[in-house]
Structure 1
Amino acid sequence: MGSMVNTVSQLGLMSSAMRWDSVGGVRIRTNWMRAYGYSSAGVKRKFGFLRDSRKRIAASCFEGNKEGNSVPNKLELEPLWNDEYGTQTVQDYVEIAKEMILRPDGGPPRWFCPIECGCPLKDSPVLLYLPGIDGLGLGLILHHKALGRAFEVRCMHIPVNDRTPIEGLVSFVENAVRLENKSSGRKPIYIVGDSFGGCIALSAAARIPTIDLVVILINPATSYNRSKLQYLPPLLEAVPDQVQTFMPYLYGLTSGNPFKMAVVNTTGSSPTLIMEQVFSKLTAILPHLSDLADIISMDFYVWKLKLLKAAAAKANSHLHAVKAEVLIMASGRDYMFPSGEEAGRLVNSLQNCKMRYFKDNGHALLMEDGFSLLTIIKGSGTYRRKNKLDIVSDFLPPSLSEFKICFDKNLGFFHFAVSPVTYSTLHDGSIVRGLSGVPHQGPVLLVGYHMFFGLEISSLVEAFLKEKNIVVRGMTHPEMFTENFRSINEHVLLYPGGVREALHRKDEHYKLFWPQRPEFVRMAIRFGVTIVPFGVVGADDLMGICLDYDEQMKIPSLREKIRLQNLKTKKLMNRTVLEGEEISKQDFYVPGFYLKKPGRFYFLFGKPIETRGFMESWKDEELAMTLYLKIKSAVEQNMSYLLEKRKQDPYRDIFARAAYRAISNSSSDIPSFEP
């Protein structure tokens, strides 16, 4: 058995050069097959017995291709790319799972590459998915298309009649990782362990500490000895005739929150329409989940519970040997395991571990609405293509679903309250609504005023994504200018005033606190970066300051709190700031504030300033200072212009905007003043 498992584990794990052959109108990745003596015709014979529905998931990266053309890797993703999240649902999972359980094909554990994953980006790392207690390998079904852009996805499948012990499963994964490591070069290998799979992932990682691994644990089953499941094996042995009675209960623990599963990919213009869709999906999903509980055999459950107990014990005994980078995702409403508590224990036990907590989700986190595995991997700074993270080359732009969640769902009410409006300046000096005056081709440096609490940032980022399909990146320091920055033609946002400007005192609205030396201008000239000065106003219409920094420093308890907070926080201050400059006062603190009736945010981007003609003179301090003063003056003039013109906006008041939306049935493009 062991040799067969090891042999099968190698299939599909050779590094893919993305070379394709046509076999009967089906495109197959062929290089790994030939490495083990299979021709394209041989592959067709080997997989010919599979039924059509099984070919969709079990064939190693099959994809329609009647022409048989070669398919190169995509070089990059465009902002707001369609990750197709939710196009496959839990109902798809249930239908495929029923067939796999009712018509098992036998054999040992093996890997398959879901066809839905498609073609990944160039140099994408491999991601190995280790399933939960069902062993089917379908747990990523909602995420196949999104993950397939950033990873070469392989899913582990354990046939329902397979009885490979835990040692064999760990060896199966270990051999796969070693084989992939030989061909992947400097790329990390990702292992996603879901519940039971998390125990296997930790045990395998402990055996290969020298390989660059990123282990992602989703509600890991390492807390088995503190879970409700530990009481089931003796109970099943005591009353074997009543085992079938417990099946729906056990499956209910593992299947997660049906409501959150039904919410996936629901769309509608009103809560009523959304609830109708959710109810319709619930009525379709619940009977199928019940059917799955009924068709799973007693032997399957008894074996899996024994395997689960052994897997948890093995993983816990080797935690000290895990050197890999670990990311844990834990649910707050996991009724199968105490996942939140267990995540805290693992963070303290593992050497390089961080966690993300989802308080409203259940055990089947990967199947529930509002959870995108790729988004969490990106947002936690865990995605990389080499042994070290490169924040430029490893950056993945936001997808369309991420944009909707962020700006429509999470920030929707805030953006409704401030209804931002943007203006820009054309080369002839005329001001127009929108961002047409901002160059589309980078590198471009956006330099402007930092409003109170940095409230303008989300509105600025949203505007560039919506209108120009451009991702604006933030820069904390001029030394971030590099050749890499110039080569990728990015739009970068810089606030010379930093924290001092964003956390200003009373009566300091729209006052710039910039350093005296023009370091960012010299760096921009050196790399030929176009500078666009901008002004923004509106925070004073949203909130007022009642207790500022100077006043808090006069109160002993608050002064001590600020001091301790800033001992832990690295100050964001320009390294060339001269002692005594106002901008050097970069202490973080939380000002006392009160809310006002919301007004509106206004942006004005000034006339672009080209620096390519001065690149050879980047060390000329007089030239740099001249441009610096020009930029600073432009920002101040833009704000003065907006402060005056906003008085002419008939929709500055939130009630006027709400009335307009109610009448026009429009959620955007609310009129404003004419420039």
Structure 2
Amino acid sequence: MNFVECRVFEVQCLHVPVCDRTPFEGLVKVVEETLRLEHASRPNSPIYLVGDSFGGCLALAVAARNPTIDLVVILVNPATSFGRSQLQPLFPILKAFPDELHVTIPYILSLVMGEPLKMATVGVEGRLPPTQKIEQLSDNLTALLPRLSCLADIIPKETLVWKLKLLKSASAYANSRLHAVKAEVLVLASDKDNMLPSREEAHRLKNLLPNCEIRFFKDNGHTLLLEDSLNLLTVIKGTSKYRRSRRHDYISDFLPPSMSEYRYAFGEVTGLLRFASCSAMFSTLEDGKIVQGLAGVPNEGPVLFVGYHMLMGLDLPCLIEAFLREKNIMVRGIAHPELFWGKFRSAGNEFAFPDWVKVMGALPVTANYLFRALSTKAHVLLYPGGQREALHYKGEQYKLFWPNQPEFVRMAARFGATIVPFGTVGEDDIAELVLDYHDLMKIPGVSDFINKARQDAIKIRDETKGEVANQELFIPGMLPKLPGRFYYLFGKPIKLKGREDLLENREDANELYLQVKSEVEQCISYLLKKREEDPYRSIIDRTIYRALYSPLDQVPSFEP
């Protein structure tokens, strides 16, 4: 893989010297002057204000005084909750603390400021053997202790007292002006913040600010940005806050994943699924020969992958990862709008899978985004059966539920795209569907929840258009099985360059549509039959092979 780390932001940082005694309003004016200079030089570009703790008060104050400037304000455990801090009773004691004992203050504060173990894990590679991980963690923890002892010299007692007064005035100033904040706001809050009630404060700010989103980090402390598992740019991308103009656009504002995002997304987030399924990829060459790997898939776009959507979309992570690893191609998946604009997007308000879907390039399932993605010569992933296939009922695995509308064929023809039909199998080897929609609707309470979700859900299809329009949002009941394997077969590419006739001739477009559907079904049938010949279909056999010979993505399969 060849990931290119790109420069996204020009970063400027406010530094307040230890001996500086500028009052809060003076600091606001310093930041404001810089802000207005930047805005004058680039009036059509948004400016990002990132405020951590005390900086959160500063960012909100500046935003309140400049409502006409396009700002994206990111607050990290903001100190606007200072008045409700659990440390309030300790502040009078700190003022009266003897000078000779001040050296202990940094150690006391370190116990409540952050999670030392999370800080120590920064830079530790997640895929290292356990012994090497422990060794690096030990070294990092040991290195932290001398730094703490230096804090007493860096922050003398009188400076600490001044900072506390400054924090109190900053919180009061920012809270009194929240009504004037018109900027786009993202609040990042740690569940283990022992200095401030950050989780409650995030909810409060969301209720008070008109354009505010929140994300929680359950394993982090007050010093969120210094701890492991958080890359601020990743959070900005995953919450759709990165934009180059007034409005975020999923095409023009997309930033390809970095190597660190690739490793985290396909290691920490979906690593267990990838390990359990150990996907085997096959593709079809121009002469019709089926080969292992993705050699038969065109490298140049526009390409439209059209296939079967496995239960709960289990097929997606392995497919996206395989294309990045083997061909360095970012496949843009067309996803349900609930992941972008619906209530499901922020369920629990944690930075979780729906956010990672956007980091990895997903697009809302609209004709406009499909049109624009193909116009940029992208590799686009489309599931015509959509939610109806991904949330199918018992006995419906590997059955296609496609609408009687060949629109994607005409769209592909418009841009001379190549259609690649594909099939996937393996869901029945990973889990057993025990409670489908009909079963859940018989359970009191659960049926009410599903009905409420249906009423609030974003509709993407007219309900008069057949079985595929029967799309109910629900989480099916599944029991895990001793994992088998996922198999993918990409059929022979169908080139539509020079087929502009399909734009007008609906009969020919429909015929090609049925051909694509038939080839997807043939791919599924082929895989269901051939997987019986795979000597490594069982996770036990694969684990033994991997231990002896090769990594996860190189375990052989059946001979095509």
- Taking the aligned partners of 2:76 and 2:306, their CA distance within structure 1 comes to 41
- 2:8 counterpart of 1:150: yes
Which residue number in structure 2 is paired with residue 24 of structure 1? none
Confirm whether residue 496 of structure 1 aligns to residue 419 of structure 2: no
Q: Distance in 2 between matches of 1:560 and 1:311?
A: 46
Tell me the SS of whatever aligns to 1:192. strand
**Do the aligned partners of 2:304 and 2:379 also contact (CA within 8 Å) in 1?**
yes
CA distance in 1 between counterparts of 2:52 and 2:473 reads 40
CA contact (8 A) 1:498 1:572 kept: no
- Equivalence for 2:189: 330
Give the corresponding residue for 2:4.
81
Amino acid paired to 2:181: V
Q: 1:177 aligns with which of 35, 39, 42?
A: 35
String of CA shifts for 1:625-671, please: whole Å, max 9, x gaps. 12101101110110111011000000001111111112225333101
Separation (CA, whole Å) in 1 of partners of 2:551 and 2:411: 43
Q: Is 1:202 the counterpart of 2:60 in the alignment?
A: yes
What is aligned with 1:26?
none
Given candidates 654, 663, 675, the residue that maps to 2:539 is: 654
1:266 equivalent to 2:124? Answer: yes
- Aligned match of 1:286: 145
* Deviations 1:308-328 (CA, angstroms, capped at 9, x unpaired): 111111011111111111001
| CA gap 1:241/1:392 in 2 versus in 1, 3 angstroms | same
Superimposed CA distance per residue, residues 424-447 of structure 1 (whole angstroms, 9 cap, x where no aligned partner):
001111011111111111111100
Q: TM-score, normalised by structure 1?
A: 0.75
Q: CA shift at 1:338, angstroms? A: 1.4
Q: Distance in 2 between matches of 1:79 and 1:317?
A: 50
The equivalent residue for 2:24 is: 166
Letter in 1 for 2:491: G
Structure-2 change in CA distance of 1:560 and 1:257 (3 Å): closer
Q: Which sections of structure 2, spanning at least 5 residues, go unmatched?
A: 336-364
**Percent identity (aligned):** 55
Structure 1: tracts of 5 or more residues without a match: 1-77, 83-120, 122-148
Among residues 494, 512, 527, which one is paired with 2:400 in the alignment? 512
**Structure of larger gyration radius:** 1
> Does the 8 Å CA contact 2:18/2:154 hold for their aligned counterparts?
no
| Change beyond 3 A, Cα 1:287–1:168 | same
Per the TM alignment, residue 415 of structure 1 is displaced from its structure 2 partner at its CA by 1.0
Paired residue type of 1:269: L
1:366-405 counterparts in 2 under 5 A?
A: 366-405=225-264
User: Which of the residues 215, 220, 231 maps onto 2:73?
Assistant: 215
Aligned to 2:212, which of 322, 343, 353?
A: 353
Q: Which SS does the other structure have where 1:629 is aligned?
A: helix
Secondary structure at the counterpart of residue 266 of structure 2: helix
2:48, 2:74 within 8 Å by CA — same for their partners in 1? yes
- The more displaced of 618-627 and 472-481 is 472-481
Q: Which residue of 1 aligns with 2:203?
A: 344
Runs of 4+ in 1 over 6 A off after TM superposition: none
Letter in 2 for 1:393: S
Once the two structures are superposed, what CA deviation does each residue of 1:432-469 show, in whole Å capped at 9, x if it has no partner?
11111111111111000011111101111111111111
Structure 2 counterpart of 1:451 = 310
Match of 1:667 in 2: 552
List per-residue Cα deviations over 1:34-62 (Å, max 9, x = no partner): xxxxxxxxxxxxxxxxxxxxxxxxxxxxx
Partner of 2:490: 605
Q: How many residue pairs were aligned? A: 530
CA distance, structure 1, for counterparts of residue 473 and residue 378 of structure 2: 29
Deviation of the 1:233 alpha carbon: 4.5
Indicate the RMSD between aligned Cα atoms, in angstroms.
Answer: 2.0
Structure 2 equivalent of residue 317 of structure 1: 176
Within 1, Cα distance between the matches of 2:148 and 2:104? 15
- Preserved contact between residue 375 and residue 415 of structure 2 (Cα < 8 Å): no
- Distance (whole Å) between structure 2 residues aligned to residue 657 and residue 252 of structure 1: 46
Alignment of 1:3-42 (within 5 A): none
Matched, 1:524 2:383: no
Distance in 2 between residues matched to 1:355 and 1:79, nearest whole Å = 33
How far apart are the structure 2 equivalents of 1:79 and 1:478? 31
Pair 1:554–1:235, CA change in 2 (3 A) = closer
Q: 1:226 aligns with which of 74, 84, 88?
A: 84
- Asked if 1:409 is matched to 2:268, the reply is yes
1:634 aligns with 2:519: yes
- Taking the aligned partners of 2:435 and 2:501, their CA distance within structure 1 comes to 48
The aligned counterpart of 2:284 is: 425
| Post-superposition offset of 1:390 | 1.2
How far did 1:400 drift?
A: 0.5
How far has the Cα of 1:554 moved from its partner?
Answer: 4.8
